[in-house]
Structure 1
Amino acid sequence: MEKFVELTHVSKDFDTKKGRFQALADVNLSIASGEFVTLIGHSGCGKSTLLNLIAGLLEASDGGLICNGREIDGPGPERGVVFQNHSLLPWMTCYGNVHLAVEKVFGAKENKARLKARSEAALNLVGLGHASHKHPNEISGGMKQRVGIARALAMEPKVLLMDEPFGALDALTRAHLQDELLRIVGETHSTVVMVTHDVDEAVLLSDRIVMMTNGPAATIGDIVKVGLERPRDRLALANDPRYHHYRTAVLEFLYQRQQRPAA
C-alpha cells in the first residue's frame, strides 16, 4: 500500500520555566493510504503533540515528517483536523462553517454552484443536511462534532487527523458517532490518524493501534495490528474472540506502563 505519512526519528522539545522538556523522542512511523491508525497511551505521553506535528501545527525539534511525498512544514489542506472541541464559529450556520473551509480550499478553482454542492454533500455525508440552516447553539454536542467532521471532509484531505473527537460526549452519542465514522471512512477510503483514550474505540475503528510509552521523551512502545474485517459491526464483535484478544493486548500494555515509573 502507498504510504501517505512517514515520520523518521521525530523528536519534539518544549522550552518551559523549568528548562527544556522533551515530549517525544525518536518516533518512527509509516501510515499507508486508506489506513486507520489510532494513537493511545496514558495522559502526557505526547499523543496530541504527535498529531499536531503531523498536522503541521507544531514543528519537530529533530527528524523528518512527510505527507504524500512532501515535507510537512506547516498546515495544509491535504491534512484535515477535527479537534476534541468542535471549534465551530458560533455566528455561522452549520452550512456556513463547512462552506468557509470549502471556499478556502477550492474558491480559486471552482464556481459558486460547485462550492455550494461540495458543502451540502459534506453535510449530507454526516447526516446533517436537514440542519444546515441551524447555528451551533441550536444543535446537540454530537451534531456539532459531526459538523466538524463534515468541515474536515469537505476539504477532501488526503489524511484526516482527529484528536479525541468524541471524548466529551455521552456513551450513546459516542457509539453512534463511532458507527458514523466507520460508515464515512468506508465510503471515502480516507487515511485517518486518531488520538483516543478509549481502548474499545481503538479496537473497533483501527487497522493499527500505536501505543505510546509514558513521557517525558515518549516514543512508540508497540503497535497492534487489528485483523478484523470491514465493515465492522460492534454487536457482532462483542462475541468475537479476536476483538477481545486485541483489547487485552492494549490493556496489558497500558497497565504495564501505569505500573512503571516514567524515565
Structure 2
Amino acid sequence: MKRYVNVENAGMVFTTRQGEFIALRDIDLTIERGEFITLIGHSGCGKSTLLNLIAGLLLPSSGHLFCAEREIAGPGPERAVVFQNHSLLPWMTCFDNIYLGVERVFGDTEDKAKLRQRTLDALALVHLSHAEKKYPHEISGGMKQRVGIARALAMQPKVLLMDEPFGALDALTRAHLQDELMKIVAATQSTVVMVTHDVDEAVLLSDRIVMMTNGPAATIGEILSVDLPKPRNRLALANNPHYHQLRGAVLEFLYQKQAHKEAA
C-alpha cells in the first residue's frame, strides 16, 4: 500500500469579528492508496474543514498536508471534490458538464476524440449514457449527483473527496447511490475521503472511520478499522453481528461526545 495523503500536525484557525476561532488542532492522518476513509462527528467538529484542507481549498494555519508525496498548496486535478450540492452548470448538458472538467485537465495533451471518449466512459461508469444530452433540470437529484461523481472521476484524480454527497437525497436514492459508489470504487481502485453524518453509511462504505471530537479546537478522537469483507451487501450486513458491533462503537463515541457537549 502506498501513502497517498498525509496530514502532519495540521491546525486551522479562522479570524472572526469575535477574534480567532480554532477549528482544528493537531490533526495527524495517513491515508493509503485505494483506501475509503469517512470523517464523522457532530456538527461543527471540522469535518468539512479537514476535507477542504486536503482539497487545497483552505491552507492550514499550522502543519503540512501532502498528496502523492507533494505538499498541498492549493487545488489540483489530482484531488477531485464532490459536494452535497451537485454544482452542475444548468445551461450545459450532462455530457458538457463532464467534458468541461475533462478538457481542463487533459486538453493540452489529448485531442478532442480522446476527450469525448473520456467523457462518455465516465457517463457509462455511473450508468448515465442515456442522459448525455439532458440538462440538469431534466434529471432527478440522484442522477445529478451521479453526473457530479462522473465529472470528478473523469479527471482521474488520485483522491476523490466527497462532502456529504448523498445528504440531500431520499433514503432509497441514497441507498442506491451508496451501492453504485461501492461498485465504482471497486472498479477504479479510487482513494476516497468522505464526510458523512450517517453512521450506517460510514460502516457500509469505509475501510476506516475517522471520528472527530467536538469543536472548537476539534481533533481526531478515534480511528476505527472496518474489517468487513468486500464486496459488501447491505442486506447481508443487516444480520451480521460484527457489522452491528462496529456500528455500536461509532454510536458510542458520538453519544459520549454529545453528552460531554451538553454537560459543558
Aligned runs of 1:77-226 on 2, under 5 Å?
77-226=77-226
Determine the C-alpha separation between the residues in 2 that align with 1:11 and 1:36. Answer: 23
TM-score (norm 2): 0.99
| 1:221 shift after superposition | 0.2
Determine the C-alpha separation between the residues in 2 that align with 1:241 and 1:159. Answer: 32
Determine the C-alpha separation between the residues in 1 that align with 2:13 and 2:250. Answer: 27
Determine the C-alpha separation between the residues in 2 that align with 1:69 and 1:221. Answer: 25
Post-superposition CA distance 1:189-212 (Å, at most 9, x none): 000000000000000000000000
Post-superposition CA distance 1:210-246 (Å, at most 9, x none): 0000000000000110001111100111111110010
Determine the C-alpha separation between the residues in 1 that align with 2:143 and 2:81. Answer: 17
Gaps of 5+ in 2: none
| 1:160 shift after superposition | 0.2
The DSSP-based 3-state class of the residue aligned with 2:261 is: coil
The DSSP-based 3-state class of the residue aligned with 2:44 is: coil
Determine the C-alpha separation between the residues in 1 that align with 2:242 and 2:97. Answer: 41
Aligned length: 263
Determine the C-alpha separation between the residues in 2 that align with 1:261 and 1:118. Answer: 48
Determine the C-alpha separation between the residues in 1 that align with 2:261 and 2:145. Answer: 36
* 1:3 alignment partner AA: R
- Runs of 4+ with deviation above 3 angstroms: none
Determine the C-alpha separation between the residues in 2 that align with 1:9 and 1:201. Answer: 28
Answer yes or no: is 1:254 the counterpart of 2:254: yes
1:9 corresponds to which residue?
A: 9
Determine the C-alpha separation between the residues in 1 that align with 2:92 and 2:261. Answer: 47
Determine the C-alpha separation between the residues in 2 that align with 1:238 and 1:156. Answer: 34
Determine the C-alpha separation between the residues in 2 that align with 1:39 and 1:150. Answer: 22
Determine the C-alpha separation between the residues in 2 that align with 1:158 and 1:36. Answer: 12
Determine the C-alpha separation between the residues in 2 that align with 1:63 and 1:261. Answer: 27
1:21 corresponds to which residue?
A: 21
Gaps of 5+ in 1: none
TM-score (norm 1): 0.99
Determine the C-alpha separation between the residues in 2 that align with 1:249 and 1:226. Answer: 11
CA RMSD of the aligned region, Å?
A: 0.8
Answer yes or no: is 1:54 the counterpart of 2:48: no
Determine the C-alpha separation between the residues in 1 that align with 2:36 and 2:201. Answer: 12
Identity %: 71
| 1:32 shift after superposition | 0.2
Determine the C-alpha separation between the residues in 2 that align with 1:229 and 1:98. Answer: 33
Determine the C-alpha separation between the residues in 2 that align with 1:16 and 1:128. Answer: 44
| 1:37 shift after superposition | 0.1
Determine the C-alpha separation between the residues in 2 that align with 1:133 and 1:35. Answer: 34
Post-superposition CA distance 1:45-76 (Å, at most 9, x none): 00000000000000100000000010000000
| 1:259 shift after superposition | 0.3
* 2:94 alignment partner AA: C
| 1:261 shift after superposition | 2.6
* 2:56 alignment partner AA: G
